[in-house]
Amino acid sequence: MASAVLRRNLSKMSLGVDVLLRSHGGRFCRTFISRRVRGSSFAIAFDIDGVILRGGTPIPGAPAALRLLYDDPSHPVQLRIPYIFLTNGGGTTEAARASELRRQLNIPVLPDQVLLGHTPFRKLADLFKNQRVLAVGKGEPDAVLRSYGFDHVVHLDSFVNEFENIDGLGRFKPWNQPSRKDGGTPVADHLSQLAGVFVVSDPVDWSRDLQVICDVLRSDGKPGTEAVPGRPQPPIFFAADDLDYQSTFPVPRLGMGAFRIALESIYNRLPSAPLQYVSYGKPQLTVYKHAEHVLHDLLTQMRSGAVVGAPKTREPMHPPFDTIYMIGDNPSTDILGAKIAGRPWFPILTRTGCYRGQSISRLYQAGKVVEDVEEAVDFIIRREGLN
């Protein structure tokens, strides 16, 4: 049985998100110099896929647009406008994603400027102290959870190797890889049970992952044991709930939200209680509130003339922004979330991703619709009266 303390803690979490608001990760691993900022303040949050990148390739005009946020666009070192990347994507650490963005865009990007869908998981590590959890998704979801302080993490690719024939279709999958090497020690008896499931990034093998997660949730974390009616399920967390996202294919692809819908539909037809889950990511209100705190830290250092990336102070936060612009391509996540958050958020919708100009509900209508991120940044600079 998962510990009673864990269940009481989880029951107190309103979507598990209030724990985010006062801290957001470690020190920057790299620094850049900022200029002193005065007067009316604003900031920008950029979605990545469909706004800045398509696949791994920059969308035309995106690198140039980002360079306008520095004092000298030809030599982007001194930051003049605070900005972050706010994405539901993930599967890698914030530091690794920042490094990748630096390479792709040829601009300075710090780890604390990158907020991924699973960044909120950092604040859940203490709830699972000395308990084993399952990491699901593409990339390195287990490494992500370990970077957040989770003690005992097993990747689903490794977990299936502990059970013979748990994937009923495994022998028909020619793409199956050799056993994943976690570099860990044999599982101790008290860790043989899973205390929780974390869907960190988009699952790759849906048929296997749906089956295994159902097994875990119905058996109180020990697949192969009989489901007991009325037994509470282990908690499951999703880093995001996007139904779809823009890739290099001409039309959007199904995302983590689609996987969650599939899991819920299947699980609720099994002889068990309805699926209980927590989803993070945009358009959750607390994601935007957390982003405000991150931007506040960045602006505080810029105004003080400090080196951006130095250790942060935890001074009380006063509303420092007249406007925070959310530039996104998905009306149901980027735009809706900014509208839910309200002032000081101002949503800007681009036509380079999920949205291509089709009619949308009033609920998802942005404050401004533009062709691409370059036009969005130009609009912001003119609206704010900057050169």
- Asked if residue 16 has pLDDT above 60, the reply is no
Instruction: Kindly state the tokens that stand for 145.
Output: 């959870």
User: Where does the pLDDT of residue 39 fall: very low under 50, low under 70, confident under 90, or very high at 90 and above?
Assistant: very low
pTM of the complete model = 0.85
Instruction: Kindly state the tokens that stand for 384.
Output: 């704010």
Q: Which residue has the tokens 């199956």?
A: 176
pLDDT > 70 fraction of the chain, expressed in percent and rounded: 82
21/136: higher pLDDT: 136
User: Where does the pLDDT of residue 232 fall: very low under 50, low under 70, confident under 90, or very high at 90 and above?
Assistant: confident
pLDDT in tens, 89-134: 999 999 999 999 999 999 999 999 999 999 999 999 999 999 999 9
The residues pairing with 369 across neighbouring beta strands, listed in sequence order, are 349
- Asked if residue 161 has pLDDT above 50, the reply is yes
- Asked if residue 181 has pLDDT above 60, the reply is no
- What average pLDDT is seen over the chain? 85
pLDDT in tens, 305-326: 655 555 555 555 555 799 999 9
pLDDT in tens, 329-339: 999 999 999 99
Amino acid identity of 256?
M
Q: Which of 190, 192, 194, 191 is nearest to 217 (CA)?
A: 194
CA distance 148 to 111: 14
Q: What is the pLDDT of residue 377?
A: 98
Query: Cβ-count burial of 248 within 10 angstroms (0-12 exposed, 13-18 middle, 19+ buried)?
Result: exposed
Neighbour count for residue 65 (Cβ, 10 Å)? 26
Q: What is the pLDDT of residue 134?
A: 98
Q: What is the pLDDT of residue 317?
A: 55
Do residues 194 and 234 make contact, with C-beta atoms less than 8 angstroms apart?
A: yes
308/183: higher pLDDT: 308
CA distance 115 to 94: 7
Neighbour count for residue 37 (Cβ, 10 Å)? 19
Do residues 288 and 338 make contact, with C-beta atoms less than 8 angstroms apart?
A: yes
